[in-house]
Chain A
Amino acid sequence: AQSVTQLGSHVSVSEGALVLLRCNYSSSVPPYLFWYVQYPNQGLQLLLKYTTGATLVKGINGFEAEFKKSETSFHLTKPSAHMSDAAEYFCAVSDSGGGADGLTFGKGTHLIIQP
């Protein structure tokens, strides 16, 4: 069984400040990890994913995330927030063992950018 915990349902940062969205997971097998972003009235869009190899993963729009196995974490960061980053962000885990559960998502973090 897998689960995802996103700390903070709402995160507010100033424009130009560091963005840090936290994600912790549990998985009985090596996980595949994803971050998706959802803009208002739109579907989810992939930001980045970790499968194997390099633990620091770079995604679109300047976002990156680091897989830390010892901490079971996959936190999302961006050095400098932009107003257009305001959206809902979802962390997700997939079972690399091939289970039929699709992706398991966290409850999401709403990112607010203050001007």
Chain B
Amino acid sequence: GAGVSQSPSNKVTEKGKDVELRCDPISGHTALYWYRQSLGQGLEFLIYFQGNSAPDKSGLPSDRFSAERTGGSVSTLTIQRTQQEDSAVYLCASSFSFAGANVLTFGAGSRLTVL
């Protein structure tokens, strides 16, 4: 597609439920990133994929968070047993190759509210 597409744009869930957030990157972009944006906290790096592989998962906040990418395209960020502190905007970005000097193109984000 022309841009990075994320769904859902808004998600309200109850504490303890599982949620899945989807990211569809720009066609041909091999690198994909997930960030979390919390009020007043800036952007927190979560995970990076090169193709379908995530070399480093240490940025994920807890073992309730997982992410996968299939076919070198769509990625899903899953949060199990959601907690109120998971409420944030989750941003996905893609780039032609690994960051370095390459520009990241961001989606509009998925706003998660955990009640």
Contacts and interface: CB of A to CB of B under 8 A. Distances in A.
Bound pair: A and B? yes
Interface of A: 9, 32, 34, 36, 41-46, 49, 51, 90, 94-96, 98, 100-108
Nearest to B109: A43
A100 B100 contact: no
B48 A102 contact: yes
B98 A98 contact: yes
Given A103-B45, A104-B45, A9 B40 contact: yes
Interface of B: 4, 33, 35, 40-43, 45, 48, 55-56, 59, 91, 93, 98-101, 103-104, 106-109
Contacts of A9: 40
A88 to B, nearest CB: 10
Q: Name, among A32, A45, A103, the residue most crowded by chain B CB atoms within 10 Å (CB to CB).
A: A103
Main secondary structure of the interface of B (DSSP, over half): loop
A76 to B, nearest CB: 16
A32 B101 contact: yes
B107 A46 contact: no
Contacts of B40: 9, 107
Contact of A90 (B42, B93, B99, B108): B42
A20 B33 CA distance: 29
A42 B45 CA distance: 18
Contacts of B4: 43
